Structure 1
Amino acid sequence: MAPSKKKHACSQPCVIPGGFTELPLQFSSDSSAQHRLYVKEHRVRAERSSHRPLDRTLFVLNVPPYCSEGVVKELFSQFGSVQSVELRDHPGSSQESGPKLSKVFKPAAKQGFKVGYVVFQDSSSLKEAKSHPHDEPLVVCTEQRPVRTGVQKWIQQYQQSFIQPDTLQQMVDSFMVEYDKRKEEVAERQRKEAEQQEEEDEGWVKVTRGPKGTKARPHSEAANKRALQKEIKKKKRKELMNFYTWQHRNTQKEHIAELRKKFEEDKQRIALLRAQRKFRPY
């Protein structure tokens, strides 16, 4: 009875501190050395991405260099249908800024251990992968799925590096179409921002009807700051207009006073000329 209990204990999954489950990995069936993968359910609440659903994504650590995305997909397909596999040098968000580049235009991938995100079609597949027995290693290279290493891998990579001119032209054309589309979107956004800024400078506010069912946004600190700056700018503009009005009114007063002064001087000059007249006809 003792051996059966020991065998039953070894068939249980191995869970290490941190919530990771240890999965043994073996390159081939006749290989004596084993590798360890550490898997855990992906639970990053801050990442709101549809590419990595929280209930169907498995986070994998310590992926060896000879395991490509296709190999990882085949390894985890025994637990259920795999939707997608993503291998990265470091854990991070799946959102990439800029246009999506083809593998031809991307820099060469770093050779080394990677982290992976395996997305299953069903959440039960994720639970089955986490409950995989510790004494049943995952085999990488089989007769149905041969994996090349060493010189054979280098030769295969060298042969795959050559691309047909037609295929390359299609990649370039699709990239340029996407680039032009993004450029037009940026230009349209800049034009709208310029119009909005011009309306704010003139003191006009453009009111438009939003989409049906949208809720009003709460006042944030940034929105309050922008409103305060707008009020300060409007107050300064009003003070400047009042200053110009006062200056114009003051100039008019000075002009009237100068005209009155000249009128009085002319009256005195006329009176003096009349007093100095020598010819008196009567």
Structure 2
Amino acid sequence: MKMAASSSEHATVIPGGFTVLSLKFNEEDSAVHQLCVKDHRVRSEKNINRPLDKTLFILNIPPYCSQGVVTDLFQQFGPIESVELCEKPGASEPSQSHLTQYFRQPQKQCFRVGYVVFKNASSVTAVKSHPASSALIVSTKERPVRTGIHKWIKQYSDSLVSSQTLQKAVDDFMSEFDRLKEEEAERLKTEAEQQQEDEEGWVKVTKGSRGVKARPHSEMANEKTLQKEKSKSKRKELLNFYSWQHRNTQREHIAELRKKFEEDKQKIALLRAQRKFKPY
């Protein structure tokens, strides 16, 4: 295993706290690519798989560096627990680990950012102390990286899948899907038996296992209750639903009261005029 360079040489640090690492594709290559690394310290980090004291943040990872290549490059600084490559910094990209390799989306060929989680925090310090004059080598005799026509041939060969292999992957997926559907149907059936409602709306509460409290309410019972409430509300006629209808009703009621008041006044005046007994 290639060891890290001596700490007597100084590392190149740029604004932002990043340390510059040199990267060569092979020993004979004269072109040098630069990586920017720093310790990953984000206060609002919610990913528990990125401990702040043991995670190295890497920028400008070239497209030819896969997850395995990045692992091989940084293993010289200490044992690695995990390597994660993303298109941009931030939250983890949605995982497709639950899908087979035949149904996963192909990775976009672009420069990436990486998160390398070491087993020891001292490994992060060792990477930051690595001098830029000592380049990291991507392709060696022990771990060659295919390029050009060889890379394209491998990608094309990997894209070809036999019908038997694909059929087996589909059958396994459908078997797992059917199993989950059967479990869900059995669960709903059990809840329906436990939560039987009579005509008056009472729920039959069955005795649960010892030490476990029976739950009289379930999703199915709640759905039935909501459906009953909706059916009741539909039977009722909604009066004065809109605000303008309510205002018009109030105006009509006030006008009706005034009209009745005037009619009562006229009746009282007429009765007074027709009164025959006049003591004065």
TM-score range, shorter chain: 0.5 to 0.7
Deviates more, 1:166-175 or 1:45-54: 166-175
Alignment of 1:1-282 (within 5 A): 11-94=9-92, 96=94, 100-165=98-163, 167-169=165-167, 171-173=169-171, 175-176=173-174
Contact 2:62 2:112 in 1 (8 A): yes
Contact 1:80 1:120 in 2 (8 A): yes
TM-score (norm. length: structure 2): 0.58
SS of the residue corresponding to residue 70 of structure 2 reads: helix
Contact 2:56 2:115 in 1 (8 A): yes
Runs of 5+ unmatched residues, structure 2: 1-5, 190-200, 202-232, 237-280
How many residues are treated as equivalent by the alignment? 207
Paired with 1:161 and 1:134, the residues of 2 have a C-alpha distance of 38
Residue-by-residue CA offset, 1:93-134 (whole Å, 9 max, x unaligned): 126378733332122221121111112122211211111112
Paired with 1:98 and 1:31, the residues of 2 have a C-alpha distance of 36
Paired with 1:39 and 1:181, the residues of 2 have a C-alpha distance of 46
Q: After the TM superposition, which segments of 4 or more aligned residues of structure 1 sit over 4 Å from their partners?
A: 164-167, 173-191
Distance 1:14 1:106, change over 3 A: same
Q: CA deviation at 1:173?
A: 4.9
Paired with 1:98 and 1:68, the residues of 2 have a C-alpha distance of 17
Contact 2:59 2:112 in 1 (8 A): yes
Contact 1:86 1:117 in 2 (8 A): yes
Runs of 5+ unmatched residues, structure 1: 1-7, 192-201, 203-236, 241-282
SS of the residue corresponding to residue 149 of structure 2 reads: helix
Q: CA deviation at 1:35?
A: 0.3
Paired with 1:190 and 1:46, the residues of 2 have a C-alpha distance of 40
Paired with 1:189 and 1:52, the residues of 2 have a C-alpha distance of 37
Q: What letter corresponds to residue 152 of structure 2 in structure 1?
A: W
TM-score (norm. length: structure 1): 0.57
Residue-by-residue CA offset, 1:33-87 (whole Å, 9 max, x unaligned): 1000011222233333232222222111111111111111100011111222222
Paired with 1:128 and 1:184, the residues of 2 have a C-alpha distance of 54
Distance 1:77 1:186, change over 3 A: farther
Distance 1:26 1:97, change over 3 A: closer
Q: Report sequence identity in percent.
A: 52
Contact 1:23 1:36 in 2 (8 A): yes
Contact 1:10 1:134 in 2 (8 A): no
SS of the residue corresponding to residue 33 of structure 1 reads: coil
Q: What letter corresponds to residue 159 of structure 1 in structure 2?
A: S
Distance 1:45 1:104, change over 3 A: farther
Contact 1:23 1:134 in 2 (8 A): yes
Paired with 1:68 and 1:62, the residues of 2 have a C-alpha distance of 13
Q: What letter corresponds to residue 104 of structure 2 in structure 1?
A: K
Paired with 1:106 and 1:137, the residues of 2 have a C-alpha distance of 34
